[in-house]
Structure 1
């Protein structure tokens, strides 16, 4: 009889553990968002932007651009310039250059981040290479645009933003198709 009781007790504990793990999985996203906000990391850009704004010619904001590769990425990847001085409300563009130096086609995905993270909601990308996966053939080099607007409602104490991209090799999960000569 005691074996039956201990088995039931073990099953109850295991089921409780499964429920707790399931609840923790749902709680991870809000916990992550709170931690990012608290520590000022991994700022996500604002949602899709379709509005128009008048340009604030009196105000200037410096937008710095960074490009890094994930540890397994072999591509060359950099912005055409280190920074732009922009006016809130104006549409701006920066080109990023990617080069596949390998002898095989590769697929990549860029993940953006904005610092300071509190200002990320005021940074609107209207076009970005990060919206789609990039496929480069061996030796291919491309220029990839990002078009953006810094919102006029950006807090007045923010005068410098950094837009960073990390480029990941996703070839294993999304194998590219090699182009054949025509």
Structure 2
């Protein structure tokens, strides 16, 4: 059998059709996983503390123990964000004590700008024990020209850290924030 152009059409093989459906399904599944990978990775990190990801809590139900821990605060600001951000001063408290500290951000430009912050904890193994009750991270912040704002963090170090023998010599945890310009309007 031939068509107008003189090309012949071979009858379709059911195996070819099945292979095509499998490959198309695989491609669609890979695209779906690509979109789901960021939220799934973030969930994994929050549950396990992987990569120094702190935990979120409503409060400290375990109390305070007789071991001091210093928390150092660090900040990095992407060049595309015209802000100056001052980290909170170092804090030394008993493990389990709920503490509030403030980062201070100033918009140095002559227009409103919007930024966000991401964070991590070092050493990585301490991330699962660092609990934030309130934080500005992952929330867009729009600052007006010349505006300065306080950005509070309410946190505590879980007393279970004291039971982890790998962290027995740790006396300081660093909470580091990286601020970057948001893609939202106003930046």
Indicate the TM-score class for this superposition, using the shorter chain for normalisation.
Answer: 0.7 to 0.9
C-alpha distance in 1 between matches for 2:150 and 2:110: 20
Match of 2:5 in 1: none
Deviation (angstroms), 1:129: 2.3
C-alpha distance in 1 between matches for 2:114 and 2:141: 6
- The reply to whether residue 168 of structure 1 matches residue 180 of structure 2 is yes
C-alpha distance in 1 between matches for 2:135 and 2:117: 10
Deviation (angstroms), 1:79: 0.9
- The reply to whether residue 85 of structure 1 matches residue 84 of structure 2 is no
| TM superposition score normalised by structure 1 | 0.74
Stretches of 4+ aligned residues off by more than 6 angstroms: none
Deviation (angstroms), 1:137: 0.7
- The reply to whether residue 143 of structure 1 matches residue 164 of structure 2 is no
Structure 2 gaps, min length 5: 1-8
Partner SS for 1:110: strand
- The reply to whether residue 15 of structure 1 matches residue 27 of structure 2 is no
Structure 1 gaps, min length 5: 177-182
- The reply to whether residue 63 of structure 1 matches residue 32 of structure 2 is no
The answer on whether the counterparts of 2:105 and 2:150 sit within 8 Å (CA) in structure 1 is yes
- What RMSD in Å do the two structures reach over aligned CA positions? 3.2
C-alpha distance in 2 between matches for 1:159 and 1:21: 44
C-alpha distance in 2 between matches for 1:11 and 1:133: 44
| TM superposition score normalised by structure 2 | 0.72
Partner SS for 2:95: coil
Q: Deviations over 1:74-104 (max 9, x none)?
A: 20012142x2222111111222111101000
Q: Spell out the pairing of 1:116-131 with structure 2 (5 A cutoff).
A: 116-130=123-137
C-alpha distance in 2 between matches for 1:23 and 1:117: 30
Number of residue-to-residue matches in the alignment: 169
Q: Spell out the pairing of 1:47-62 with structure 2 (5 A cutoff).
A: 47-56=56-65, 58-62=66-70
C-alpha distance in 1 between matches for 2:110 and 2:99: 35
